[in-house]
Amino acid sequence: MSFLNNSPLLNLDYSILEFLEDSAFAMNANYQFLAFNQAFSKQYKLFFGTYPKLNEKGLGVTHVIFGKKIQNTYERAFQGEHLEITEFVYNQYLTFKIQPVFEENKVKYIIVLIKELTKTVKLEEMVSQYQSKYEYLIDNINDVIFQTDSVGNWVFLNKSWTNIFQYTIEESINKPFYQFLHPEDVKKNELLFEPLINRQKSYCKHIIRYLTKEGSIRWMEVFATLIINEQDQILGTSGTLKDITNEKSNANIYELLSNNIKDLVCIHRLDGTYLYVSPSIKELAGYEPTELIGRSPYDFFHADDLNIIQQNHQKSLDGNTNELYTTYRFLKKNGEYIWLETNTRLFFDEYDIADRMITSSREIQERKRVEESMVKALQKEKELNEIKTRFLAMASHEFKTPLSAIRSSADIIEAYTLQINDERIRLINNQLAAIQSEVTRLTDLINETLVLSKFETDRLTVQKEEVDLVKLLKFVTDRQNQQQSDGRTVELAIYGTPRTINLDAQHFVHIIDNLISNAFKYSLECPNPKVSLIFEDNVYKITVQDFGIGIPEIEQKKVFSSFFRANNTQNIVGTGLGLSIVQNMVKLSLGTISFESIENCGTVFNISFPY
């Protein structure tokens, strides 16, 4: 059949006729045989009592009964027509398919293929009898019931065929079933039918796409068995087509396969051998699909990736997983490698036995490049963090030791000067106070930096205990009140029913200390800061409010960043680490922190913790 539908092959060699199962011959315009196969020779002998001879005129054109009709048919073929006629000859139904072969726009000769349809006609008669007897039952089944002849032409279809595909039965009968398949699924269907045709399986069951008369897609579950006569010859197939379009939850697979040309879809035997390769392989790796079919994919894998590929392949075959993703390098036709990510799924037959594998592969070249860059960047960042951690540890020791010595020396000098009553001693004490203040500030900076580094290295932990929260908060506010040289104090308010809380007291004190200290520091000559403790059903909240300089709106998003100082705080002493530490400590205890601020009006910080 493909011989007549692919005319370029006809120009190659007459010897191709011998490979056809049906009778076939080539004839020139004088009705002389140019070539014929053994099947035709035997059939010719049966009809005319003698074997055909090359360069002799065929006896059919001179036959007294049908010779004239044959001549007219051949003449039409020599005028360029492609013909197919069926005749009842010598008690047999024969189909003549006639193909003209051109050379320089003229018919050089014709090829005639003769197919015996007697078996098909008998099959049609049998089906007709069967249909008459069970017509009501067959036509009221939702699934399509079909039968084909040995070459795949429909010989029977029930009414569900028309209901689903809009084709009438009359316009479908005697046409090949694959004519109604989605063009992209024709090759796939052939591969899925292969085990049945080769009698490796007693039936065939798979899912394939058909097209309706309007061109829309219907997903059909095909079940087919062979029709075999007493001589063990295949007469055709019979079975059902079940419409599963509405049941197919992942119907977008069609969109993925047909529209996304970057994806490579393949069907494999269980050993990996390619049975089907989608056309996207051309753009992806430079190959034609036919260059891969029948070959092992292991021929194209990078040697360094074979181990993981083999492991995942075996896992799939062992049934440990139904779906696998593998990342590997694939050899392109130009000798370069490309990174692919492949999803592998197994197909199972009716008895839950693995039958085929389907893979979907996508190029991830750019992703791998980004991943490699990220790995390098992360490694560099890790090295920098290690250097920073070592530096901070060194700084803690190297800086705090001399600072302690400076403070001690200043304290000793101060003690000596207290015993001397001299105006110059007052000046010395002023300088000592400045030294002690700067030592304290530098020590605080080092301590806060070390605390922050512990957050970054996950070395700071929470040590919870039952605490009287009201008592603890009053302790913090009282201590802050005592430190204020201007006489201001915190206005503390408690709302709700007080209760003991399970928390890290050291962290809580640090958080509240920092916020109240800031409230005083950034609101000089302003009203007293306000602190509220609110007990609610599921959380407790603390608010710290001041009426000072506020935070510029343009800088508010940076408030919790390390070493950040707002532009309006340049003349106020600070490290820029306090709020960053506060935020991390709040998060460590599963709390939340937020703030509202208006420049030159004040700021309020809101903290909330679960019980």
Identify residue 159 by its one-letter amino acid code: K
- Cα–Cα distances (Å) from 598 to 291, 448, 553, 556, 567, in that order, read 72, 27, 7, 10, 14
Whole-structure pTM value: 0.38
- 539-546 and 530-535 beta bridge pairing: antiparallel
pLDDT at res. 58: 86
How much is the pLDDT for 413? Answer: 76
Structure tokens at 533: 């403790």
Q: At residue 121, does pLDDT exceed 60? A: no
Residues in the chain: 611
pLDDT band at 120 (very low <50, low <70, confident <90, very high): low
pLDDT one-digit tens code per residue, 474-528: 999 999 999 999 999 999 999 999 999 999 998 999 999 999 999 999 999 999 9
Question: Mean pLDDT across the stretch 526-542?
Answer: 97
The per-residue pLDDT for 373 is 84
Rounded CA separation 107/77 (Å): 8
pLDDT of residue 12: 40
> What span, in angstroms and rounded, lies between the C-alpha atoms of 258 and 217?
12
pLDDT tens figures, 381-430: 777 777 666 666 666 555 666 667 677 777 777 776 776 666 677 777 77
Are the CB atoms for 280 and 293 separated by under 8 Å? Answer: no
Q: Which amino acid is residue 273, in one-letter code?
A: T
pLDDT confidence band for 215 (50 / 70 / 90): very high
Asked if the model's pLDDT at residue 260 lies above 80, the reply is no
Q: Which pLDDT does position 98 carry in this prediction?
A: 92
Pick the residue with more confidence: 101 or 350? 101
CA distance 566 to 521: 14
Question: Taking 90 as the threshold, does the pLDDT of residue 340 lie above it?
Answer: yes
Q: Please report the beta strands in 387-511, taking only residues with DSSP state E, as ranges in sequence order.
A: 465-468, 491-495, 500-503
For 529-552, what is the mean pLDDT? 97
Coil, helix or strand for 269? coil
Q: Which of 141-145, 197-201, 591-595 shows the highest mean pLDDT?
A: 591-595
**Site of tokens 């996207």:** 280
Q: Which amino acid is at 59?
A: L
Residue 267 parent element (H or E):
strand 264-268
Average pLDDT value over all residues in the chain? 83
Percent of the chain with pLDDT over 70: 82
Name which of 304-308, 312-316, 380-384, 393-397 the model is least confident about: 393-397
Domains of the chain, first to last: 2-116 (3.30.450.20), 120-243 (3.30.450.20), 260-363 (3.30.450.20), 369-456 (1.10.287), 465-610 (3.30.565.10)
Q: What is the pLDDT of residue 410?
A: 72
Nearest to 510 by CA among 484, 540, 482, 480: 480
Q: Is the pLDDT of residue 143 over 80?
A: yes
Rounded CA-CA distance 313/319 in Å is 10
Query: Is the per-residue pLDDT at 328 higher than 90?
Result: yes
Mean per-residue pLDDT, 187-205: 89
Span 420-444, average pLDDT:
71
pLDDT class of 5 with cuts at 50, 70, 90: very low
The pLDDT of residue 178 is 93
Task: Identify the pLDDT of residue 320.
Answer: 63
Q: What angle do CA 604, 530, 501 make, to 5 degrees?
A: 90
Per-residue pLDDT at 90: 63
Range scoring the smallest mean pLDDT among 317-326, 335-344, 368-377: 317-326
